[in-house]
Amino acid sequence: MKKNIIENVKTILYALIIALIIRSFLFQPFYIPSSSMEPNLLIGDRLFVTKYSYGYSRHSLPFSPKIFKGRIFNKNPKNGDVIVFKTPSDNRTDYIKRLIGMPGDTIQFLNGDIFLNGKIVEKKELNLTLDIQCGSQTFKANFYEETLPNGNKYVTAYRKEGTMLNSDLYTVPKKHFFFLGDNRDCSKDSRFLGSVGYVSYQNLVGKAQLIFFSNDKKKGSLFQFWKLKNILRFERFFKKIIW
Distance CA 38, CA 156 (A): 8
Q: What is the CA radius of gyration of the chain?
A: 20
Distance CA 78, CA 149 (A): 11
Q: Would you state the pLDDT for residue 70? A: 84
Distance CA 44, CA 210 (A): 14
Strand order from edge to edge, sheet including 170-171: 119-120, 113-116, 106-110, 170-171
Would you say residue 22 has pLDDT above 90? no
Mean pLDDT rounded to a whole number for the chain? 91
**Mean pLDDT, rounded, for 181-197:** 93
pLDDT digits over 59-103, tens only?
Answer: 888 888 888 888 888 899 999 999 999 999 899 999 999 999 999
| Amino acid letter, residue 28 | Q
Lowest model confidence (mean pLDDT) among 20-24, 188-192, 209-213: 20-24
Distance CA 157, CA 183 (A): 5
Q: Would you state the pLDDT for residue 101? A: 97
Distance CA 201, CA 71 (A): 8
Q: What percentage of residues in the chain have a pLDDT greater than 90?
A: 64
pLDDT digits over 101-126, tens only?
Answer: 999 999 999 999 999 999 999 999 99
Q: Give the rounded distance of the alpha carbon of 91 from its chain centre.
A: 16
Count, residues in the chain: 243
Q: What percentage of residues in the chain have a pLDDT greater than 70?
A: 97
Distance CA 132, CA 93 (A): 24
Contact between residue 86 and residue 203 where contact means Cβ atoms under 8 Å apart:
yes
Q: Which helix (H) or strand (E) holds 179?
A: strand 176-180
Residue 34's CB is within 10 A of a number of other CB atoms, namely 18
| Amino acid letter, residue 170 | Y
Beta bridge partners of 22: none
Distance CA 43, CA 20 (A): 26
pLDDT digits over 163-178, tens only?
Answer: 888 999 999 999 999 9
Catalytic positions, written as ranges: 36, 97
DSSP tag of 14: H
pLDDT digits over 112-166, tens only?
Answer: 999 999 999 999 999 987 889 898 889 899 999 999 999 999 999 999 888 888 9
pLDDT band at 11 (very low <50, low <70, confident <90, very high): confident
Contact between residue 172 and residue 101 where contact means Cβ atoms under 8 Å apart:
yes
Contacts of 75 (CB under 8 A, 6+ apart): 53, 54, 55
Domains of the chain in sequence order: 2-240 (2.10.109.10)
Q: Would you state the pLDDT for residue 104? A: 97
Phi, psi (degrees; rounded to nearest 5) at 49: -115, 130
Tell me the C-alpha to C-alpha distance, in Å, between residue 70 and each of 99, 200, 224. Answer: 19, 10, 46
